[in-house]
């Protein structure tokens, strides 16, 4: 689990809740009209921006990856692929049938090599799989950002509606309070939804998209070199180029001449 996302959301909720309780109760900050304006309006506007298929794939995938980390880091993948290359060198492709890994994309590549598929087939299928995954993750990031953009705007719409209703009922003082609450709480809800939830998640997903693109491209290159019977040392050194310079030889791996 990505602890940073969870801690950030919990900390933000604690801050907002503490400020509410220091000056009143949660009941004071609930208004059904503001909820309808913010969540209903933001959802409707986002539905207009994106096709239904993008919503179906992007929202759950984005929610999942906002709270999870890849099972293997880039450096771990280099080590894993070098180990797999060593197995393939000693036992041949058949030896890869017993190799186990926690990374599903890597497991698929290993299976392709073990089954004896040709180089072009492996490259095309893995690249297509990578591109489809990154497309859906990018859709998730864009959808959360769209909701984050819409929420403050609909907060303003709720504020304007509340003020219009308030000024239209100036002759009845008993109605001024609820309408003023709608006006103010709509702005509050929009700001919280956008700045505490949706926009941070959108940024987190964009960062993970870049990481996943690097990791999956690294896996593809490693699998292709293993399929091409490259030596484990060459596989390691070629894949270390994906890592930042200071991390490439952190474990003291030798650099070939």
Is residue 107 assigned to a domain? no
pLDDT digits (tens, 9 = 90+) for 133-188: 999 899 999 999 999 999 999 999 989 988 888 888 888 777 777 788 878 899 99
Asked whether the predicted pLDDT for residue 255 surpasses 60, the reply is no
Mean pLDDT of 5-30: 88
For 218-242, the pLDDT digits (tens) are: 999 999 999 998 898 999 988 888 8
Q: Is residue 22 part of a domain?
A: no
pTM for the full predicted model: 0.81
Say which residues have a Cβ less than 8 Å from residue 101's Cβ, sequence separation at least 6. 72, 80, 107, 110
Question: What average pLDDT does range 112-121 have in this prediction?
Answer: 92
Cα-based distances in Å from 148 to 4, 68, 200:
20, 21, 9
In a domain, 91, yes or no: no
Burial class (CB in 10 A: 0-12, 13-18, 19+), 118: exposed
Q: For residue 216, count CB atoms less than 10 angstroms from its CB and return exposed for 0-12, middle for 13-18, buried for 19 or more.
A: buried
Q: Are 227 and 180 in contact (CB under 8 A)?
A: no
Q: Is residue 205 part of a domain?
A: yes
In a domain, 8, yes or no: yes
Residue 112 maps to a domain:
no
**pLDDT, averaged across the chain:** 87
> Distance (Å, rounded) from C-alpha 73 to C-alpha 85?
18
Position 107 pLDDT exceeds 60: yes
pLDDT of residue 120: 93
Distance CA 80, CA 105 (A): 13
> What is the span of the domain harbouring residue 142?
3-13+28-75+118-247
User: Can you give the pLDDT at residue 256?
Assistant: 44
pLDDT at 252: 46
- 113: in domain: no
Measure the CA–CA gap between 137 and 212, rounded to whole angstroms. 10
Q: What is the C-alpha to C-alpha distance for residues 9 and 197, in angstroms, rounded to an integer?
A: 7
In a domain, 90, yes or no: no
Least confident of 116-130, 151-165, 175-189, 200-214: 175-189
Query: Is residue 205 within 8 Å of residue 5, measured between CB atoms?
Result: no
Token pair, residue 212, equals 């996943």
Q: Please, which residues have CB within 8 angstroms of residue 97's CB and are 6 or more apart in sequence?
A: 114
Q: For the chain, what is the domain count?
A: 1
3-state helix, strand, coil in the chain (%, to 5): 80, 0, 20
71: pLDDT strictly greater than 80: no
CA atoms of 43 and 37, how far apart (whole Å): 10
Q: Please state, in angstroms and rounded to a whole number, the distance separating the CA atoms of residues 93 and 77.
A: 19
């Amino acid at each position: 689990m990505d602890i940073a996302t969870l801690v950030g959301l919990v900390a933000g909720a604690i801050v907002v809740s503490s400020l509410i309780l220091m000056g009143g109760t949660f009941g004071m900050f609930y208004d059904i009209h503001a909820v309808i304006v913010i969540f209903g309006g933001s959802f409707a506007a986002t539905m207009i921006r994106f096709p239904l298929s993008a919503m179906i794939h992007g929202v759950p995938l984005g929610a999942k990856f906002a709270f999870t980390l890849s099972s293997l880091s880039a450096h771990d993948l280099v080590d894993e692929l070098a180990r797999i290359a060593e197995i393939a060198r000693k036992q041949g492709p058949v030896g890869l049938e017993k190799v186990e890994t926690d990374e599903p994309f890597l497991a698929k590549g290993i299976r392709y090599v073990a089954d004896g598929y040709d180089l072009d087939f492996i490259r095309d299928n893995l690249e297509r799989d990578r591109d489809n995954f990154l497309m859906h993750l990018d859709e998730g990031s864009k959808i959360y950002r769209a909701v984050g953009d819409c929420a403050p705007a609909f907060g303003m719409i709720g504020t304007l509606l509340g003020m219009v209703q308030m000024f239209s009922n100036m002759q009845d003082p008993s109605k001024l309070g609820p309408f003023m609450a709608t006006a103010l709480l709509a702005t509050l809800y929009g700001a919280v939804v956008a700045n505490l939830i949706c926009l941070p998640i959108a940024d987190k997903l964009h960062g993970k998209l870049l990481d996943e693109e690097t990791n999956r491209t690294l896996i593809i290159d490693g699998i292709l070199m293993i399929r091409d019977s490259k030596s484990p040392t060459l596989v390691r050194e070629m894949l270390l180029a994906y890592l930042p310079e200071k991390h490439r030889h952190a474990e003291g791996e030798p650099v070939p001449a």
